[in-house]
Amino acid sequence: MKHIKKAVDAVLPSHVAIIMDGNGRWAKQRGLPRIAGHSAGVHSLREIVKSCTALGIGVLTVYAFSTENWKRPVAEVSRLMELFLTSLRKEITELNKNNIRLRFIGDYKPFPEKLWDSIEEAQKMTRHNTGLQFVVAVNYGGRWDILNALTRLAEKISAGELEAGDINEQLLGSYMALSDLPPPDLFIRTGGERRISNFLLWQLAYTELYFTECLWPDFGPEQFNEALHWFAGRERRFGLTTEQLQQIKRA
């Protein structure tokens, strides 16, 4: 890991966002039930959290359960809820010991009460930690996020606390999830699909998008390092030209 840090330290992303795709296909290839793939994926996530901590990456956001995932078979959703709860209870002590702050975004209130309580307790336990900010998106959708922000702003207008003309990009952004964190620099999607699937639609505006055929349970530190090296080779212009960037660097 140290040689990777030396190679890309100057251009490490401060915030990495990941869609952990391919668990079901990984299990199917091995003649296993889909939940076995999700269980294997928990191990991969644990390894990536360790890698982010070792490299000094500030924020890791993962898509654990989307608003669309409710459409999956009832039995699979139920097993996912059980796995989520078990993993959360198992991992929280270790996360806390390593100074990792665990946060959740999304509308997680529809989840079972036991899971909801565990989510609240985990956030409370780690809220003062100053290391990696580990953000888990559950029952989250980018469209939901934007709609939620607009609804809150509309309530302010209705209450006379805000004028419609006051709304601008900066104000709207402040009502979005993760508004207190830097936007993702690097987006990773495993499993071969090349879309962002309603994940962080607002926040990914200038994010570098990295897609890999590797299924999530097979995605470990080596594959993560490949993504970081790819990111290190990107020229991030944010609407500027290469010449303008060069002038800024010389200034």
Which residues are part of the catalytic machinery? 21, 69
Q: What is the DSSP letter of 91?
A: H
CA dihedral 44→48→50→56, nearest 10 degrees, is 180
As given in the structure block, the two tokens for residue 199 are 């994940």
List own/partner pairs for 202-209 with CB under 8 A and 24 or more apart. 202/142, 202/145, 202/146, 202/173, 202/176, 203/17, 203/176, 203/177, 203/178, 204/17, 206/236, 206/238, 207/17, 207/183, 208/13, 208/234, 208/236
